[in-house]
Structure 1
Amino acid sequence: MTAPTTPAAEALPHQGPAAGTTPLIIRVHGTPAGQGRVSFFGKGRAVHSNHKKLMPWRAAITDAARRELAYAFPADAARLVDGQPVPILLGAIAAEITVTVPKPKSAPKRLTSWPITRTSHDIDHHARAVLDALTHAQVWKDDAQVVEMTIRKVYPGEGIDALDRPGALIRIWPIPTEAVGR
């Protein structure tokens, strides 16, 4: 006897890259900054609350992504349409992001601990900074294409995918249409 098939059972969550799909892996070093609130000054002028830390971090992600795209997709990375770079990934995308933040001197040295202080930024702010930088790098047309995401925040050398110094390890891959269970 087989279990009844329900819509929820058919549409199982996607887990990792599909067979034969290699994720695009971007490793970037620098001091991570979360993308906090935006202050608006009228006439289209807006500034992020931590602009001085955020902009270098986003630039580092953009540069690392463009280098990786040029290596992974040499023919596509050079394509321009109307003078604008063509986004490499189209359709639904999954992302896995590990942000390695600096460990404060007050944190335990011999124990694995978690970055849960206000100075480590909210995890969703880190996600927004990374996704917006990847949009700027033309990895995809818009970060709305990311339909599945795992993000973690760790200290150097501690936890899954932690780098040896502050930065981020980003894996992205397209989700094939057949992976949604239809």
Structure 2
Amino acid sequence: MLGHDPWAAHRVHLFVPGKPAPQGSKRHVGNGVMVESSKAVRPWREDIRQALLAEHDNAHPLAGPLAVTIQFVMPRPKSHYRTGRNAERLRDNAPRLPAGKPDIDKLARAVLDAIGSAHVWQDDAQVVNLHATKIYQALDEKPGAWIEITSLEQAG
């Protein structure tokens, strides 16, 4: 069939608004109990999990090899904006790409953990292709993350 995408039924694509939070290290608090060092990661992962539960039938986890693409839309610091009556405009020298913290691998780890907790896949070892980028939000964008999970096995 012309224009038929054999992977279309096995793709999850969504935007999760919010401030992306990195999956930090865990710290030991005693009696074998480990807690997240970042207080922001738990609510961020829960936002992702809830968005995925609304988007994907978690009764049927994706099987086989998977590709995950994540674009983090990071909030801009106030120093990127002009002042006074032009406070809603970006400075001419405001960068488009956030080359500082948080680390992209820790941001991606938080998303992958949230995807696993939503039972979108059987095991995160199924991810054979991971692509992640960070950008600063444009004036008309909200911070958050675009997430796409694609099955790499064609339907019969």
Counterpart among 70, 81, 96 of residue 69 in structure 2: 96
For residues 128-162 of structure 1, what are the alpha-carbon distances to aligned partners after superposition, in whole Å with 9 as ceiling and x for unaligned? 0000000000101221111101100111128xxxx
Whether 1:20 and 2:6 are equivalent positions in the alignment is: yes
CA contact (8 A) 1:89 1:140 kept: yes
Q: Is the contact between residue 100 and residue 155 of structure 1 (CA under 8 Å) also seen in structure 2?
A: yes
Residues 126 and 87 of structure 1, relative CA distance in 2, 3 Å threshold: farther
Structure 1 gaps, min length 5: 1-17, 78-85, 178-182
The code of the aligned residue for 1:152 comes to T
Measured after TM superposition, the shift of residue 87 of structure 1 is 4.8
Give me the whole-angstrom Cα distance separating, in 1, the residues matched to 2:80 and 2:112: 29
- TM-score normalised by the chain length of structure 1: 0.69
CA-CA distance at 1:90 after TM superposition: 1.1
* Overall identity of the aligned pairs, in %: 37
Provide TM-score, normalisation by structure 2.
Answer: 0.80
- 1:26 and 1:133 map into 2 onto residues whose CA distance is 14
- Equivalent residues, number: 140
In the alignment, structure 1 residue 141 sits paired with structure 2 residue 122: yes
How do 1:75-90 residues align onto structure 2 when only pairs under 5 Å count?
A: 77=58, 86-90=59-63
1:156 aligns with 2:142: no
Aligned residue for 2:99, secondary structure, equals: coil
Look up the SS of the partner of 1:24 in the other structure: strand
- The gaps in structure 2 that reach 5 residues or longer are 82-89
Query: Which string of whole-angstrom CA distances, capped at 9 and with x for unpartnered residues, describes residues 48-72 of structure 1?
Result: 211x211110000000000001xxx
The CA distance in 2 between the partners of 1:133 and 1:87, in whole Å, is 17
RMSD (Å) for aligned C-alpha atoms: 2.3
Kindly report which structure 2 residues correspond to 1:30-179, keeping only aligned pairs within 5 A, or say none: 30-50=18-38, 52-69=39-56, 73=57, 77=58, 86-107=59-80, 109=90, 110=92, 111-118=94-101, 121-157=102-138, 164-176=141-153
Aligned AA (1:54): V
